Structure 1
Amino acid sequence: MRAKITYAVTAAVLVFYFVLVGSRGVLLITTGTPLTVTFGVAVLILPGIGVWFLWKNTQFVRRANQLAAELDAEGGLPVDELRRTPSGRIDRDSADEVFARRKAETEDAPEDWRSWFRLAVAYQDARDTPRARKAMQRAIALHQGRRAEAA
């Protein structure tokens, strides 16, 4: 729940920033000189990219949460079986063991979105965010009936 609130607050702050920057871009364009119009258009491009990026990330998070809810309803969510250090950090050897099992599961069922979802969780536990994201994107694509590139 805390992560959802943090995401919502961050998104709201970004939208406010995009509106603020966008309004400045419009003001520059309405000035009418070639230089200010050029700067105004350039300033409007940045919020456009930001809105697109925020939209794509929001879609990704929503789809991943939908998969998690479906997997939870099936009783297939990965169980946290990781050993932790006294400080609460994940033991690296434990993460490697779980990762190896999840990787083998995915190799055995490469078209199963569930195995890719569990692999994404294992990558995240191993603090390999880029691979976790690619594995989750593959899980989402497979769940939607699309073929995806190998992660």
Structure 2
Amino acid sequence: MRNRKGLIGAVVVTALLAIYVWAILGRARGLVSTGEPVGIAIGIGVLLIPLLVIGLIAWEFWLAVTVQKMADELAAADELPVDDLPRSPGGRIDRAAADAAFEEHRARAEEHPDDWRSWYHVAFAYDASGDRKRARAMLRKAAGMYRAERKAPR
């Protein structure tokens, strides 16, 4: 069985958020039920924030499930990214080596722009280079391509 600590942590945090949202919904309902225009406006605003948060969390869970499916498929094909970059004694990845590896993955992705696997590898190369924002963007791109490939008629 795979290590599920991350999933368990995410579920626990989401459950705590659900309790928070439940409490907020009660407050928002109370504000709206006052009948006062200001109370109604504040109540609606209080409702929108948790709904936005719930939507964002659902989106992240959807991404996580897709990335796990992608990783499982890559693992089955023995194509998972390998973390073999040289490290300092403190454990930091050698920046020059990470940049060189990134260039290899970027070039492969440019050669195969419609292959989600290449963008998945670019995402992990960005992560190794320390650019988490672009790494997430590339994971989202790869996940979108993966989902589209699964929906396409064969």
TM-score exceeds 0.5: yes
**What letter corresponds to residue 21 of structure 2 in structure 1?**
F
- CA shift for structure 1 position 130: 1.8
Q: How does 1:18-33 map to 2 (within 5 A)?
A: 18-33=21-36
Measure, in 2, the Cα distance between the counterparts of 1:143 and 1:33: 49
1:143 to 138, 142, 146: 146
1:9 to 9, 12, 33: 12
Decide whether the 8 Å contact of 1:84 with 1:90 is kept in 2. yes
Instruction: Give the aligned CA root-mean-square deviation in angstroms.
Output: 1.5
Q: 1:103 is paired with a residue of what secondary structure?
A: helix
Measure, in 1, the Cα distance between the counterparts of 2:67 and 2:87: 25
- CA shift for structure 1 position 10: 2.2
2:57 to 54, 57, 60: 54
- CA shift for structure 1 position 13: 2.1
Measured against aligned partners, the alpha-carbon deviations of 1:25-77 in whole angstroms (never above 9, x if no partner) come to: 01111222222112111111111111111111111111111111111111110
Comparing 45-54 with 12-21, which one deviates more in the overlay?
12-21
Comparing 8-17 with 126-135, which one deviates more in the overlay?
8-17
* Corresponding residue of 2:47: 44
- CA shift for structure 1 position 145: 2.6
1:129 to 129, 132, 137: 132
Measure, in 2, the Cα distance between the counterparts of 1:125 and 1:17: 35
Comparing 71-80 with 16-25, which one deviates more in the overlay?
16-25
Q: Which consecutive unaligned segments of at least 5 residues does structure 2 have?
A: 150-154
**What letter corresponds to residue 34 of structure 1 in structure 2?**
P
Measure, in 2, the Cα distance between the counterparts of 1:79 and 1:37: 54
Residue 73 of structure 2 is aligned to residue 70 of structure 1: yes
Give the number of equivalent residue pairs: 146
Q: Which consecutive unaligned segments of at least 5 residues does structure 1 have?
A: 147-151
Give aligned-pair identity as a percent: 34
**What letter corresponds to residue 17 of structure 2 in structure 1?**
L
**What letter corresponds to residue 63 of structure 2 in structure 1?**
F
With over 3 angstroms needed to count, the CA separation of the structure-2 counterparts of 1:6 and 1:91, relative to structure 1, is farther
- CA shift for structure 1 position 19: 1.8
* Corresponding residue of 1:109: 112
TM-score, length-scaled by structure 1: 0.88
Comparing 46-55 with 12-21, which one deviates more in the overlay?
12-21
